[in-house]
Each structure stands twice: as structure tokens, then as C-alpha cells.
Amino acid sequence: QVQLVESGGGLVQAGGSLRLSCAASRRTFNTIGWFRQAPGKEREFVAAISWRGGNTYYADSVKGRSTISRDNAKNTVYLQMDSLKPEDTAVYYCAAGAGTTVTRQDYWGQGTQVTVSS
């Protein structure tokens, strides 16, 4: 099993920034990334990165406003989010697997709440 521990969520005003972190107990999977789920909505992809090549993938909704990065020595990934909007409010989940779809994720973190106020 792989344990994923997220941190960095919180309350931020619209236009502000924050950085989410996800620490993985092991790095045997291909990709690690972030998904989010707002109340009444399905979980959706946000961003992902491959451990080996550092290839990055972004959802259109956050492209240009977010940057995902990794620190292989620490088994940790980061999601820097800028120019936050109220519609970014959701529980953000770290996920490890082999792609950018919910069904291809093998492990999930507990989630961290991101609330953007106007």
C-alpha cells in the first residue's frame, strides 16, 4: 500500500495563492497528481506529473494558473495555485496511479479543503 498525506489547504481570498503538498510513502507508481471535488459535483482531474520524466498535465480549468512539481528525494509533489477563483473551492485529493483519470488512480489521500472567498 501507498500512503498519501496532503497539506497546505486553507482559506484564501480570490486572486490569492497557495501551495498544496503531497508526501508519498513509496514511489512505485507512474504518476502522482491532484483531483478535486466540490459539493454536489463529481471528482475531477486538476494536475498530474510523472515521477520519472517530470511530464506535467493540467486541466483546462487551471492551466496557466497552476504549476505542479516534484521532489523525488522527498517523494513529494507540490501544486502551486495562483489567481484563485471562488470556483476553485473544493476538497483537493492527492492521487497516485498511471494517468489523469479517476479510474486509473490506485491510491488516494485523505483530502485537504481549499476555500476561496470573494
**How many CB atoms sit inside 10 A of residue 38's CB?**
14
Contact between 24 and 2 (Cβ < 8 Å): yes
Pairing verdict, β 112-117 and 90-97: antiparallel
> What nine digits make up the cell of 29?
507508481
Q: What is the pLDDT of residue 87?
A: 97
pLDDT tens by residue, the chain, 118 residues: 899 999 999 999 999 999 999 999 988 789 999 999 999 999 999 999 999 999 999 999 999 999 999 999 999 999 999 999 999 999 999 999 999 999 999 999 999 999 999 9
Q: What is the pLDDT of residue 27?
A: 86
Q: How far is CA 41 from the centre of its chain?
A: 17
Distance CA 14, CA 43 (A): 22
Q: What is the pLDDT of residue 113?
A: 98
**How many CB atoms sit inside 10 A of residue 97's CB?**
20
